[in-house]
Amino acid sequence: MATAGSIKPVWKSAKPMPTKRVYSSPVVVDGQLYVVGGCDSTGTPLDCFESYHAGRDRWYRLANMPTRRASPCVLHAGNKLVAMGGVSVTQQPLNVVEVYDPAEKEWTQQDVMKDHLIGMSGVVRGMFNLHSVVN
């Protein structure tokens, strides 16, 4: 992990993530790293959700997503995390949208997207309207 403090980043080892996986989606919110979904060593999509606090060098296991998925598009919007699309346990694209509320520590399912999508990236600029994303 790189830490800021000078013009040149300093790399140091951090505690390993509790759940080994590939094809997960990371997002940083207020200096905390969140890791969403991914696949285990057999290629099966996961529903796990974990966060890492660099100042404490500690991982936290959070509420599982309702949907197992690999490679979702994950955005930080307002005070929530939004997971969209990805790859299902049947290795098919998903149209599922789920929102995590850190204050409530829970996921809620939203209206589905009209298309089943994988390989998405996203950027939030200005005001965020979840309805406009999924419809």
pLDDT of residue 5: 59
Instruction: Confirm whether 113 is domain-assigned.
Output: yes
Q: 121 lies in which domain range? A: 15-125
pLDDT attached to residue 106: 96
Percent of the chain with pLDDT over 90: 70
pLDDT at 130: 54
Residue 130 lies in a domain: no
CA distance 69 to 85: 8
Question: Residue 28 pLDDT > 70, yes or no?
Answer: yes
Which residue, chain included where needed, has tokens 């057999």? 42
Q: Closest Cα partner for 52 from 76, 69, 36?
A: 36
Closest CA to 73 of 61, 85, 59, 58: 85
Counting other chains too, the contacts that 13-21 makes at CB distance below 8 Å and 24 or more residues apart are: 14/52, 14/54, 14/57, 15/52, 15/57, 15/58, 15/59, 17/50, 17/52, 17/59, 18/50, 18/59, 18/61, 19/46, 19/48, 19/50, 21/46, 21/48
Structural domain includes residue 21:
yes
Whether residue 11 is predicted with pLDDT greater than 50 in this model: the reply is yes
- Does residue 73 fall inside a structural domain? yes
For residue 76, being part of any structural domain is answered with yes
CATH number of the domain to which 51 belongs? 2.120.10.80
| 63 falls within a domain | yes
Residue 94 confidence (pLDDT) above 70:
yes
Q: How many helices (H) and strands (E) does the chain have?
A: 1, 10
Q: What is the pLDDT of residue 135?
A: 44
Whole-model pTM: value is 0.84
- Does 107 reside within a domain? yes
Could you tell me if residue 134 is inside a domain?
no
Question: What is the count of structural domains for the chain?
Answer: 1
Average pLDDT over residues 77-100: 95
pLDDT at 8: 79
